[in-house]
Amino acid sequence: MSAANTTTQYGFVAKTLHWLTALGILAVIPLGIVANDMPYDTADQLADKAWLFSLHKTIGVTLFFVALARILWAIVQPKPAALHPDRKTETLLAEIVHWLLYGSLVLVPLSGWVHHAATEGFAPIWWSFGQNLPFVPENLTVSETAAGLHIVFERVLIISMILHIAGAIKHAVIDKDQTLARMLPGRQVTVAASERPSRGFVPPALAVLVWAAALGVGGIFGVYSKGSAIAAEAPALQRVESEWAVTDGTLGITVRQMGADVSGSFEEWTADISFDETVMAGKAGSVDVEIAITSLTLGSVTQQAMGPDYFASSDFPTATFSADILNTPDGYVAEGTLRLRGIEQPVLLPFDLTIATDTAQMEGSTVLDRRSFDIGAGMTDESQLGFEVSVTVDLTATRGGE
């Protein structure tokens, strides 16, 4: 059998790429559905879920390159003519479906790949070429948008594949022609040559309209943003009258998941600060901080972090940190108690402080052990979810709130 196509036959290269693609689709879609529906409340469940997602992604990336090879081969090769060119509507529909298949075979894995690259701390692709993509930041909005596009393009692919299979069955069972047979491996089928099919712009243009309609439907159903489902409304924190009023600041955390750092921050928090910079040693002031737990944004795991096995935000919507500010030989430190998830633990927060007239700039960090607060108690494998959580504070405050 020839490697190249003719106007009446598919060569073995086209057949091989066709069936490799079909096998990849039949494997990758069920894997994605099963992995997505699996729970991940325990270490074993998360390990199984991550393994399936890694397999799904690895096959998906492989399918992406196979699809590119298939499309490039189709461009440079003649396409066997339709056996029934007189059936113009049927031939047009078949061409549209083929364009939808070709496009979806690129768009589905590519959107999934972008989603993966924009997501922090997720199941890796099993290869040695890195997990990121050029020009794709690790960003929740990008990740959610790409995830929505992945869903939409996948639905178009599934529907197109069903139509493609239905058409093949129709040709084999009803028409009893050689359309399906000439794509089967090892089959050499001789058919009469007919008019070479047009490679005009009508079929691809109509395929683009189908994708546009699908994207519109996705927008109606809100698949491009899950922000409202991820971040519950933060509780209203009481206004504080502080000796030093915070005018700008970030309260961030970083945890390691699946071998990658996942960083986030709390948007809503208050700080009641009293401080006397003239104290050269010992207690120089105090600070009381209240944090709205549900104001946390933590990448793709925000919703998981709010759950009962982690921050349990429904039962414990706020956390507090009350501490004395000490001036020590090694610098300033906030020494106090953190109450989180109903559990109190002593915490030391060393920080650097710069004061210019009535404006103070403070930067500090510390490391907590999530197990001390029963966060993720079922996650006993540190390679899946790190025990240490880095906390960083960066704020600007003015004396008297001016």
What distance in Å separates the CA atoms of residue 345 and residue 8, rounded to the nearest whole number? 77
Taking the domains of the chain in order of start, what are their residue ranges? 12-225, 234-399
Please give the pLDDT value at position 400: 80
Of 134-148, 185-199, 256-270, 309-323, the poorest mean pLDDT is in: 185-199
Domain 234-399, CATH class in plain words = mainly beta
pLDDT digits (tens, 9 = 90+) for 10-27: 999 999 999 999 999 999
Q: With 50 as the cut, is the pLDDT of residue 229 above it?
A: no
Both tokens of residue 287? 């600070």
Both tokens of residue 110? 């590519």
88 CB-contact burial (10 Å; exposed 0-12 / middle 13-18 / buried 19+): exposed
CATH number of 12-225: 1.20.950
Please give the pLDDT value at position 231: 46
**3-state SS, residue 193:** coil
- Which band of pLDDT confidence, cut at 50, 70 and 90, is reported for residue 228? very low
Of 79-93, 134-148, 251-265, 326-340, the poorest mean pLDDT is in: 79-93
**3-state SS, residue 81:** coil
Q: With 60 as the cut, is the pLDDT of residue 176 above it?
A: yes
Please give the pLDDT value at position 401: 61
